[in-house]
Structure 1
């Protein structure tokens, strides 16, 4: 499905096309597999339905949540240099993986337009609602911007781009989303991304850096309990979309940080023995009192790790951009 808003803004929806499973079917399958494991888990990719996105917007403005402010500082401080380097080799697609509301990306978009760079913007997200809202906002705020949003899985979108819009790619993977993968998953994901890239293509990745552990922990367990509501919304979403009967009030949010592994982990803890049925999976799942569901890992990085990771993937590290506190880095890699 393609929805045209104007000559400058359009959406291609791959979420129910031949290139990918139904989003609901994929969600149900992932929930079934995750809750069937001995150590139960749910994927953080399903945090962001409409309510989850609303809660995350609230999280980003919390005093404890430094990540968004830090990356925003990276872009406001270095926008001219970043934009110049992205555009240095001429025409390109700026492909924003997991674009959301593109708040930080808009800083770069405005600068690229100011510099009269030859590019178009391709935001990618699994949330169709988020892409509709983003396109409407971009049409109002940046009417001269050529935008073609894609709704679907990252790799379905990259396959579609390879087939339909071949050109130099500049890929954005911002907000420390790379930290949601464990080390093996991270390398597998980035190798797959790399397979869609040609010499001259670029990848800009946001990385949350290692720092004082209490600072990290507070960012994922805020005093107002908004992060807890965000985590628990995953169970509400299963109830709404998959016919689950979770008693959400009998689960609680729990967060911990491991400074040796450099990983922040979030869980949902069952507060009593209980059984939950989910219609879309065709089965029920039993929880013992104090049993945990792992919902998110957020790895933190050193600059040396960023350099080593690029080398292992066959990238050349072109530049590391940091915020004023050195809390966060956006790392620019190029395919040579």
Structure 2
């Protein structure tokens, strides 16, 4: 497929998703569209913020337990596929790649991401550091790539779903996604999932409302992107980033709240949208889990928990699930 056709197809899906969100009874904008070139850079800044404990905590977990995480697959004594959902810039995955590469363990690496820009950067950076790495980037959504399974067949699979990416789905969508993951894996294949654990609500809320306003800019950039790519006229200054955390459900939700009555025109849709003062537009959820939640998820979807790899403070778990 040539680039122009690909771009046209993406624009149509993007436009339809925005139409669906803004005509919903409770307006929403899909968080997967945060990640254009500017959004990628803003998220990299977020990961370095002092309030955003998730990245550095998981980094320490992977550094400490890389050998234990990978050993069951190394012990199989054969080449395997390392498949990563939402690879991003590979900052944390590099720890696992290096462990395997330094020991000359044979594997194929399939980073999956919706952002072609970030995949290009990841491939370039990894091949500079690991010149003989077998890497096959896959651009696409989780569901599409898990349906296609465009990786080498007849090999064991270790799937990675790091960060708190799994938590970025409301519960019903998360359970649906796990069905796709179950379908894509074979018995005795594994998936390492990052789970942000329930903890002091203030620590959680601060992670999504940093003092420098980078997370605010990351959310608002979605409006800039719609303006640029769909010929819209959102007055970005008239929206406020507003995160809230519910310690009961474990859901930390982000909204863009309109500061006035306003009309937004989206040229690509040839449509105007009325947004009233104080009306929220839902942009993102980041769910937090207990260890019991993780155990129940595994049981329900046909996995056993091999181990929960946790930091000393119990903030985060990289949990290894093996398909029954």
TM-score under structure 2 length normalisation = 0.95
C-alpha RMSD of matched pairs (Å)? 1.8
Q: Assess if the C-alpha contact under 8 Å between 2:254 and 2:282 holds in 1.
A: yes
2:136 aligned counterpart, secondary structure: strand
- Could you tell me which of 30, 33, 41 is aligned with 1:43? 30
- Could you tell me which of 246, 253, 272 is aligned with 1:284? 272
- Could you tell me which of 44, 47, 53 is aligned with 1:60? 47
Partner of 1:170: 158
1:22 aligned counterpart, secondary structure: helix
Separation in 2, partners of 1:86, 1:281 = 49
Give the drift of 1:164.
6.1
The number of aligned residues is: 322
For structure 2, which runs of at least 5 residues remain unmatched after alignment? Answer: none
Whether 1:128 aligns to 2:116 is yes
Give the drift of 1:171.
1.0
Separation in 1, partners of 2:152, 2:16 = 29
For structure 1, which runs of at least 5 residues remain unmatched after alignment? Answer: 3-12
> Superposition pairs for residues 20-169 of structure 1, below 5 Å?
22-89=9-76, 90-162=78-150, 165-169=153-157
Separation in 2, partners of 1:241, 1:167 = 40
After superposition, the C-alpha distances for 1:287-326 in whole angstroms (9 at most, x for unaligned) are 0011000001111000011011000000111111011221
Partner of 1:8: none
1:269 aligned counterpart, secondary structure: strand
Partner of 1:236: 224
Give the drift of 1:16.
3.0
Separation in 1, partners of 2:45, 2:117 = 18
Q: Assess if the C-alpha contact under 8 Å between 1:162 and 1:196 holds in 2.
A: no
Partner of 1:256: 244
Separation in 2, partners of 1:242, 1:140 = 36
Partner of 2:320: 332
Partner of 2:303: 315
TM-score under structure 1 length normalisation = 0.92
Q: Assess if the C-alpha contact under 8 Å between 2:66 and 2:99 holds in 1.
A: yes
Q: Assess if the C-alpha contact under 8 Å between 2:197 and 2:289 holds in 1.
A: yes
Greater than 2 Å deviation, 4+ residue runs: 85-90, 154-168
Q: Assess if the C-alpha contact under 8 Å between 2:240 and 2:257 holds in 1.
A: yes
Give the drift of 1:283.
1.2
Whether 1:203 aligns to 2:180 is no
Separation in 2, partners of 1:120, 1:146 = 5
Give the drift of 1:140.
0.5
